Structure 1
Amino acid sequence: MSAPQNTIALIYDYDQTLSPAYMQEEAIFPQFGIHADRFWKQCQALVREQNYDNELAYMKVLLDTLEMDRPTNEELRSLGAKLNFYPGLPEMFEEFQTDLLSPEHKAYGITVEHYIVSSGLKVLLEGSRLAPYVKAIFGCEFGEDSQGRITFPKRAISHTQKTQFLFRINKGMLDLSEDVNDHMAPDLRPIPFPNMVYIGDGPTDVPCFTVMQRNGGKAIAVYNPNDPTRSSFKKCYQLSAHAERVKNIAPSDFRQGSHLRFLIEEMVQDIANSILDRRRIDLEAGTVKAPKHS
Structure 2
Amino acid sequence: MSDLPIVAIMYDFDRTLCTKDMQDYSFIPSLGMTESEFWQYSNSLGQREHMDSILAYMYAMVKISKDKNIPLLRQNLVDMGKNVELFKGVEGWFDRITEFGRANGMQIEHYVISSGMKEIIEGTPISKCFKSIFACEFLYDENGNGVWPKTDVNYTNKTQFVYRINKGVLDVANDNDLNRSMPDDSKRVPFCNMIYIGDGLSDVPCMKMMKAYGGYSIAVYQNKDSKVEDLLKKGRVDYIYPADYSENTGLDITVKNIIRKMSISETLYDEYTKQKNLL
Which residue matches 2:210? 212
Q: Secondary structure of the equivalent of 1:268?
A: helix
Structure 2 residue matching 1:286: 3-state secondary structure: helix
Q: Which of 209, 220, 223 is 1:222 aligned to? A: 220
| Structure 2 unmatched ranges of 5 or more | none
Give secondary structure in 1 for the equivalent of 2:26.
Answer: helix
Task: Give the Cα separation in 1 of the matches to 2:61 and 2:270.
Answer: 51
Quote the residue 1:235 is aligned against.
227
Within the candidate set 171, 188, 191, 1:190 is matched to: 188
Aligned with 1:250 (options 236, 241, 251): 241
Matches within 5 A, 1:155-166: 155-166=151-162
Return the match for 1:112 from 97, 108, 112: 108
Q: Which amino acid aligns with 1:82?
A: N
SS at match of 1:141: strand
For 1:142, the equivalent position in structure 2 comes to 138
Q: Separation in 2 of the partners of 1:206 and 1:171?
A: 21
Q: State the Cα RMSD in Å.
A: 1.6
> In the alignment, is residue 97 of structure 1 matched against residue 88 of structure 2?
no
Aligned residues: 273
1:273 and 2:274 matched: no
- Percent identity reads 32
Alignment deviations for residues 22-45 of structure 1 (CA, whole Å, 9 cap, x no partner): 100013123343321110111121
Tell me which residue corresponds to 1:54.
Answer: 53
Given residue 120 of structure 2, which amino acid in structure 1 is its aligned partner? L
1:167 aligned onto 2:163: yes
- Distance change >3 Å, CA 224–CA 23, structure 1 → 2: same
Amino acid corresponding to residue 124 of structure 1 in structure 2: I
Partner of 1:19: 18
Give distance in 2, aligned partners of 1:34 and 1:265.
42
SS of the equivalent of 2:85 reads coil
Structure 1: state its 5+ residue gaps: 289-294
The equivalent of 2:84 in structure 1 is: 83
Secondary structure of 2:16 counterpart: coil
1:259 aligns with 2:255: no
2:66 maps to 1:69: no
Shift, 1:5, TM fit: 7.9
* Cα distance in structure 2, aligned partners of 1:84 and 1:275: 37
Aligned to 1:282: 273
Q: In terms of Rg, which structure is larger?
A: 1
Q: State the one-letter code of the partner of 1:63.
A: V
Q: What CA distance in whole angstroms lies between the structure 2 residues aligned with 1:135 and 1:50?
A: 36
Mapped contact 1:101–1:269 kept (Cα < 8 A): no
* Cα drift, residue 116 of structure 1: 0.5
Q: Distance in 2 between matches of 1:189 and 1:81?
A: 36
1:10–1:113: 8 Å Cα contact kept in structure 2? yes
